[in-house]
Structure 1
């Protein structure tokens, strides 16, 4: 008696919650950018701070650990770690004014651009909470 071939049930993969504005990159997967943008008064697209930090860091070819090390060297403050950079890039936390100043120096971007990006991230959070 022939038994029809059935494929095994698909495995349940652990899926990370993808937050808009995150850049995901791993050695085995291609880079994925989940867009979360806002349009400013003049019609320019504004990106949240998590996306801005990740794209600027990747453009410089730095790892999260390297960015944390550079921030530590520049500021003299050892409270920033790779884990904190990861939280910023995943949108779990928004860097405060102190770290935004140092990030602007490290990533060669203006403080104003980081302030606007932080405002977009805060607005995005408020919209998710409603």
Structure 2
């Protein structure tokens, strides 16, 4: 009967030491990762769905890189016609846009329930 407790003790010791010996394998201190491509884009989905729309520019806010557009319905995201303000990916595009101008524009979802304009093209 004395062997039972010592066997149990030995088994418990073995089981508790084994995970600890492997835990150090996750320590990456001192590893040179300078050539490994690690960027924020790796956390992004591989591709974002682009939604195409048509609208009229109501306001241009170059200081905050935002544009207000009265857009036609956008079936790909089941939006009815409405006026909305969007962040613009490339604020330089805003310098060429005139309030009241009819435009084609592309949207991508940048966060939950938030969309960003990625392309703006005036309609002639």
| Common topology (TM > 0.5) | no
- TM-score, L = length of structure 2: 0.21
- TM-score, L = length of structure 1: 0.20
Question: Which fold has the larger relative contact order, with Cα–Cα distance below 8 Å and residues 6 or more apart in sequence?
Answer: 1
Which structure: greater helix fraction?
Answer: 1
